[in-house]
Amino acid sequence: MVLAAVMNISGYTAIFYPAVASFFIGILYVIVSCKVPKRFAVLIFGIVPCAYFFASGLIEGVIGSIGVILLSFIAEAILGKERPDAAKITVSGLVYTLYMSIIGMAENFLFTDKYCNDALAHGIDGTIVEQMRQMYGMKWLWAVVIAATALCTFIGIAIGKAIMKKHLRKAGLV
Amino acid sequence: MTLDVRTYIVMIVLSAACSSLNTDILVEIGIMTAITLLQLISAKGSFMPKLLICYVLMLLTQFVLFPVMPQTVVSLLSLPVVNIRSFFPTIMCIVLLYRNTKVSQMTATFTRMHVPKGVTITLAVAVRYIPALKEEWLHIREAMKMRTVSAGVRDPFRRMCRRLECQLVPLFVSAINTSDELSAAAVTRGIDDPTAPTCRNYKPLGLRDYTVLFITAIVTAFCVWREYGGAA
Amino acid sequence: MLELQSVSFGYGEDMEKAPEIRGIDMSVKKGECILLCGTSGCGKSTILKTINGIIPNLISGRLDGSVFIDGKSTDNVPMYELAAKVSSVFQNPKTQFFNTDAESEITYGLENRGMPVDVINERLEMTVSELKIESLRYKSMFEMSGGEKQRIAFASAYISDNDIIVLDEPSANLDPEAIDEIWAVVAKMKENGRTIIIAEHRLYYLEGVADAVLYIAGGEIRKRYDAVDFFSMTDDERKELGLRKLHKNDIKITTELPLHTEKPILTMNGITLAYKKHIVQNNLGFEAYHGEIIGIVGSNGAGKTTLLRALAGLCKPKKGVIKYNGKALSARQLRRLCGLVMQDVNYQLFSDSVRNEILLENSGMDEQTLPSILCETGLSGLEDRHPQSLSDGQKQRLAIAAAYTSGRKILLLDEPTSGLDYRSMLLVGKLLKKLSEKGVISIVVTHDTEFIESVCGRIFRLEKQ
C-alpha cells in the first residue's frame, strides 16, 4: 500500500511499480515456497491481486482475475509437491510476478484511451493524464516493463536465496 | 450489529468495483456515508475516526486546494490523492470485516462452503499473524536503533544492503519460529480433524445480511448503469 | 495410562548424530503429575513432543520405541485422534492462540472435533467458573498479558475431557504473579484427576503438585525421585544437578544506597515516565555508581520496562533529565552509551556468525581481542555458528558481549534469565560481574530472585502509583 502510494507520485514512476513490487515479492517468495511446503501457499499469495482485478472492472477485471489464478496455478505446479529446488523457485517466481507486468498493465497499454479517460473522469490532473497517454502510447515500453519486472523478481529471488543460505539454513531453521 | 463473513467479502469486492466504475464524487460520498453509518452500528472499533478524517482531508485537497495550488504541486499530488481516495470505501469495508469477524467464525463458514482445509488453515494463521508482525517490526526497529549496524561501511549502496539485511533477518527468523510454534499448537488442537467442525459463532445469513447485500447490489447496479448504459 | 517403551529420537536423518533422547522408559498412572527437570537441551521437551505426537507428525527424524496410551500404541494414530486424547500447553503465550477473543480460543479444539454447540457451551460455562477466568472471558486476546494468555491456553486444555495434559515450560515467559495463577490451574487439573506431564526450569511452584520428579540429563532419565525426597534436597545438591531453586523466598538484598565517596556516574532526577499517555511513575530519582549491578523489581505495570527504555534512549521521559558524569544526555547519546539486551534477544541478533555479530559495530577490532572476549563470555569454539542456532543463554551472552565490545558503558537487561536454567543463569551473572570490575554499570529488570541474589549489589523497587 505504502509502496503503491509512493510509486504513484507521478505518471512516470507508476509504470515501474510492478518492477519495484516484484523485487519484494521475490524475496518473500523464496521464504514462502521453502517454508510452507503445503500446497495452496502461492494460491493464497495470489488471492489479493486476484480479488483486486476482479473488482477493478467488469469484463477486463474478470479476465484479469482468471489470469492471476491461472498464473498462480502454473507457479504452484512448477514448485511441485516436494520441497522445491532453487531453479524451480526462480522459474515459478518469475511466472507468478508476470501477473503484475502483463495483467496489471494490460489495460494501460491495450486500452490506453479508455484508461486515460477513466483517470480523467476520476479527477486526476489533466497534465498527468496527458503524460500517461503519451507514455502508454509507446507500446514497446510494455516489453520494457515486463523485462524490468522479471529482472527485479530475479534479483529479489536471488536476495531471498542469499538470506536463506547465509542465515536461515545456517541457523538450521529451514 | 455484526454481519456474516460472506456479506463483508461481497461488500469489499463490490465496493472496489464501484470505486473503479463510479466517477461521480457525490455518489462516492453517498457510499462512504452509508459505510460509515454501518461502521457506527457495528462492533466497537469498526468506526475509525482517523480514517474518516483522512478521507475528508483528501476530498478537501482535491476539490478545494487543487484549483488554487500551483500546477507542479498538483501534478505531484494528483495521482496518489485521487487513487487512494477512490479506494477508501474498500478500505473501510476491509476494516469492517477485520473488526467484526472472529477467526473461528471464518473457519467454520469457509468449511461450510467447502473451501479446502489447507486454504482455510493457512488463511487463519496468516490473519492471526498480521498484528504480531507489526509488533515484531517495531521491536526490530528499536534493536537497530540501539546499534550502529552500518558502522564502518562507507559505500551507500552497501549500507543500504546491510540495513535491509538487518531488518529482514530477524523478521524472517521470527516468522519461521512463529509459524512452527503456531502449527504445533494447531495440530495438538485437532485442526486437521476431517470431521466438519462446529462453530459456536456460526450463523446462517440473516435478514440483516440480505438487507445489506441487497443495498450493496443496488448501488453497484446503479454504478454499472451510470458507466455503461443510460445517460452516459 | 501412559507408557513410554525405550523411546529414542534424533533430529534429522543423519545416523551419525547423537540422538536427542535415548531409551526413555516411563509409565504414568492416571491422575499422576510427573515433573521432568534438567538443564536446557537435556531432552525433556523432546520427550513431551513424542507424547503429544508433534514427533513424528510434525517433526520428522529417527524415532524408535513406542508410546502407549491406555495400552494402545500411538504409532500410526493420526494427529487429530491423538489431539482428542492429549492436550498441550506450550511455553510461548504469543504463539499458541488463533482466535482474537478468549471464548472462541477456549472452545477451538472442541469445535475442530465437531462437538455439538450446546455441549461446547455447557463445558465453556463449567470451565470458566472452575478456573475462575470470568474476568478474561470477553477480553480480546491481544489485550491480555502473557500470564492471562497462558491461563486461556490452560483453559483450552482443561475444557477438553482429555486425560493427559502435557505442559512444556508453561512458566518460561511469566512473572511470579502469573506463575501463582497458573499454579492454581495446574492444581485444579490434578484435583480433577487429569494426568499431567510437565517439563520445567522453574520448580518452586510445583512443590505440592508434582507426585514424582524425573531428572533428565544427556537425553536419558538419570533418576526418579518421589516428590517429597526431591523437594527436601539441600541447596548444594540441587545446584550440583544444575537446577533452579526449589522453594519460594523473598529477596534479602538491600535497597539502601551504598556509601560512596565518589560521585554517582549515572543520575536521574525528577523523572516522570509515561506508557501510552498513561503516567506510570512521577518524580522518580535514581543514581548508579561505578561498576554497580542494580536489580529493578516491582509489580507489573509499575513501569520497569518503561524506565529501562527511557535509559536506553528509546522513549523520552515526560519530565526530567538523565545525566552521565554530570552531563545531560539526549536520547541519541543515550543510545550510544547504553547497550540493551531485550527480553526477546532474537530481535537483536543480525549477523550470520557469532564472530560477525561481535564485530558488527567495530570491524576494526584487532585479532587478539576477539578470542579473549569469546573466552570471557563462554562462547569459545562457537565463533562460526549462526547466532540464531545458539541456546537462549548463549544468545543472551552474545548480546551482552556485542554491547560491551562496542564500548557501551551501561548495560540494560530486560528479564535476561526468565527461561534459563541454573548454569546459564550463573554464566550470565558471572559475565555481568566481570564487566562490573571493568566499571560497566548493569541495570537489570527482573523477577528472578535467584538471579538477583547471586549478582545484584542492591535493588531498586518501583511501586505502582
What would the pLDDT profile of B198-218 be if each residue is shown by its tens digit? 877 777 888 999 999 999 999
Q: Report the candidate in C300, B232, B74, C349 with the shortest Cα–Cα distance to residue A126.
A: B74
User: Closest approach of chain C CAs to the CA of A72, in angstroms?
Assistant: 27
Asked if C43 has any chain A CB less than 8 Å from its own CB, the reply is no
The number of beta carbons lying within 10 Å of the beta carbon of residue A68 is: 25
Contacts with B86 from chain A: Cβ below 8 Å: 122
pLDDT of residue A55: 64
pLDDT in tens, A64-88: 788 888 888 888 888 776 666 778 8
Most B CBs within 10 Å, among A43, A117, A125, to test the B interface: A125
C460: which 3 cell numbers? Answer: 531498586
Using H for helix, E for strand and C for coil, what is the string for B60-105?
Answer: HHHHHHHHHCCHHHHHHHHHHHHHHHHCHHHHHHHHHHHHHCCHHH
For every residue of C29-92, DSSP letters joined together read -TT-EEEEE-STTSSHHHHHHHHHTHHHHTS-EEEEEEEEETTEE-TT--HHHHHTTEEEE-S-
For every residue of A123-139, DSSP letters joined together read T--HHHHHHHHHHHH-T
B151: which 3 cell numbers? Answer: 558502522
DSSP 3-state of B106: helix
pLDDT of residue C31: 93
Beta bridge partners of C197: C34, C166
Residue A7: CA count within 13 A, CB half-sphere: 13
The number of beta carbons lying within 10 Å of the beta carbon of residue A83 is: 11
Asked if B21 has any chain A CB less than 8 Å from its own CB, the reply is yes
Supply angle C-alpha C435, C440, C444, rounded to 5: 90
- Residues C438 and C302 grouped into a single domain: yes
Which chains, if any, share at least 3 CB pairs under 8 A with chain A? Answer: B, C
pLDDT of residue B118: 67
Asked if B105 has any chain C CB less than 8 Å from its own CB, the reply is yes
pLDDT of residue C153: 94
- Residue found under cell 517403551: C5
Please report, as a single letter, which amino acid is at residue C19: P
For every residue of chain A, DSSP letters joined together read -HHHHHHTSSHHHHTTHHHHHHHHHHHHHHHHHHH--STTHHHHHHHHHHHHHHHT-SHHHHHHHHHHHHHHHHHHHHH-SSPP-HHHHHHHHHHHHHIIIIIHHHHHHHTHHHHHHHHHHHT--HHHHHHHHHHHH-THHHHHHHHHHHHHHHHHHHHHHHHIIIIIITTT--
Please report, as a single letter, which amino acid is at residue B211: T
CATH code, domain with C297: 3.40.50.300
In order of B29, B99, B106, C200, C237, the CA distances from C232 in angstroms are 74, 53, 52, 18, 10
Name the closest residue on chain B to residue C339, using Cα atoms. Answer: B146
- Residues C223 and C342 grouped into a single domain: no
Option in B108, B184, B190 nearest C54 (CB) = B184
Option in A10, A14, A40 nearest B75 (CB) = A10
Per-residue confidence at B232, pLDDT binned at 50, 70, 90? very low
For every residue of C208-253, DSSP letters joined together read TT-SEEEEEETTEEEEEEEHHHHHT--HHHHHHTT---SS------
User: Closest approach of chain C CAs to the CA of A85, in angstroms?
Assistant: 19
Residue A32: CA count within 13 A, CB half-sphere: 23
Range of the domain at C329: 266-462
The number of beta carbons lying within 10 Å of the beta carbon of residue C73 is: 12
Name the closest residue on chain A to residue C388, using Cα atoms. Answer: A171
Q: At what angle do helices A126-137 and B71-86 cross, to 10 degrees?
A: 80
Q: Is C250 part of any domain? A: no
Domain boundary among C240, C256, C288: C240
pLDDT string in tens for chain C (465-residue length): 899 999 999 887 777 778 889 999 999 999 999 999 998 888 899 999 999 999 888 888 889 999 999 989 988 889 989 999 999 999 988 888 887 788 888 998 998 888 999 999 999 999 999 999 999 988 888 888 888 999 999 999 999 989 999 999 998 878 888 888 889 999 999 999 999 999 998 899 999 899 999 999 989 999 999 999 999 999 899 999 989 888 887 667 777 777 777 788 999 888 888 887 788 888 888 889 989 999 998 887 788 889 999 999 998 888 888 999 989 999 999 999 999 999 889 999 999 899 889 888 877 777 778 888 888 888 888 888 999 988 888 899 999 999 888 889 999 999 888 778 888 899 999 999 999 999 999 999 988 888 998 899 888 988 877
Contacts with C352 from chain A: Cβ below 8 Å: 166-167, 170
Task: Please indicate whether residue B105 or residue A27 has the higher confidence score (pLDDT).
Answer: A27
User: Closest approach of chain B CAs to the CA of A5, in angstroms?
Assistant: 6
- Residue found under cell 560512596: C260
pLDDT of residue C9: 92
- Contact between C92 and C170 under an 8 Å Cβ cutoff? The reply is no
Q: Is C154 part of any domain? A: yes
Residues of A with CB under 8 A from a CB of C: 166-167, 170-173
Interatomic CA distance for residues C74 and B112, integer angstroms: 31
pLDDT of residue A37: 57
The number of beta carbons lying within 10 Å of the beta carbon of residue B180 is: 16
- Residues C110 and C202 grouped into a single domain: yes
Contacts with B118 from chain A: Cβ below 8 Å: 38-40
- Residue found under cell 530475479: A154
User: C56: cis peptide before it, omega within 30°?
Assistant: yes
Range of weakest confidence among A122-136, B51-65, C385-399, C407-421:
A122-136
Name the closest residue on chain C to residue A164, using Cα atoms. Answer: C352
- Residues C425 and C316 grouped into a single domain: yes
User: Closest approach of chain A CAs to the CA of B154, in angstroms?
Assistant: 21
Element (H, E) at C326: none
DSSP 3-state of C104: helix
- Residues C324 and C195 grouped into a single domain: no
Q: Is C227 part of any domain? A: yes
Inter-chain touch B17–A61, beta carbons under 8 Å: yes
Contacts with B20 from chain A: Cβ below 8 Å: 55-57, 61, 118
Q: Report the candidate in C399, C180, C437, C161 with the shortest Cα–Cα distance to residue C293.
A: C437
Interatomic CA distance for residues C380 and C400, integer angstroms: 15
Q: Report the candidate in A4, A48, C375, C229 with the shortest Cα–Cα distance to residue B9.
A: A48
- Residues C300 and C223 grouped into a single domain: no
Q: Provide the domain count of chain C.
A: 2
Per-residue confidence at A1, pLDDT binned at 50, 70, 90? very low
pLDDT surpassing 60 at residue A5: no
Most A CBs within 10 Å, among B75, B140, B167, B227, to test the A interface: B75
Interatomic CA distance for residues B2 and C248, integer angstroms: 48
The domain spans of chain B are 1-102+203-232
Q: Which of residues 210-229 of B touch C (CB under 8 A)?
A: none
Inter-chain touch B119–A163, beta carbons under 8 Å: no
Across chain A, mean pLDDT equals 78
User: Closest approach of chain A CAs to the CA of B66, in angstroms?
Assistant: 9
Interatomic CA distance for residues C409 and C265, integer angstroms: 10
pLDDT surpassing 50 at residue B109: yes
Asked if B177 has any chain A CB less than 8 Å from its own CB, the reply is yes
- Contact between C376 and C370 under an 8 Å Cβ cutoff? The reply is no
Please report, as a single letter, which amino acid is at residue A42: V
Element (H, E) at C262: none
Option in B128, B139, B190 nearest C112 (CB) = B190
Q: Which of residues 323-362 of C touch A (CB under 8 A)?
A: 352
Residue C71 burial by CB count (10 A; 0-12/13-18/19+): exposed, middle or buried?
A: exposed
User: Closest approach of chain B CAs to the CA of C261, in angstroms?
Assistant: 32
Inter-chain touch B12–A51, beta carbons under 8 Å: yes
- Residue found under cell 472452575: C130
Inter-chain touch A167–C388, beta carbons under 8 Å: yes
Name the closest residue on chain B to residue A27, using Cα atoms. Answer: B168
User: Closest approach of chain A CAs to the CA of C384, in angstroms?
Assistant: 10
pLDDT surpassing 80 at residue B180: yes
Give CA torsion, residues A94, A97, A103, A106, to 10 deg.
Answer: -80
C293: which 3 cell numbers? Answer: 549491578
Interatomic CA distance for residues C203 and C37, integer angstroms: 8
Query: DSSP code of C446?
Result: -
Residues of A with CB under 8 A from a CB of B: 5, 8-11, 14, 27, 31, 35-36, 38-41, 43-44, 51-52, 54-58, 61, 118, 121-125, 127-128, 163, 167-168, 171, 173-174
Option in A166, A172, A173 nearest C352 (CB) = A166
- Residues C206 and C298 grouped into a single domain: no
- Contact between B43 and B99 under an 8 Å Cβ cutoff? The reply is yes
A148: which 3 cell numbers? Answer: 524490468
Q: Report the candidate in A65, A1, A33, A13 with the shortest Cα–Cα distance to residue A160.
A: A33
Supply angle C-alpha C303, C304, C305, rounded to 5: 95
- Contacts B–C by Cβ distance under 8 A: 164
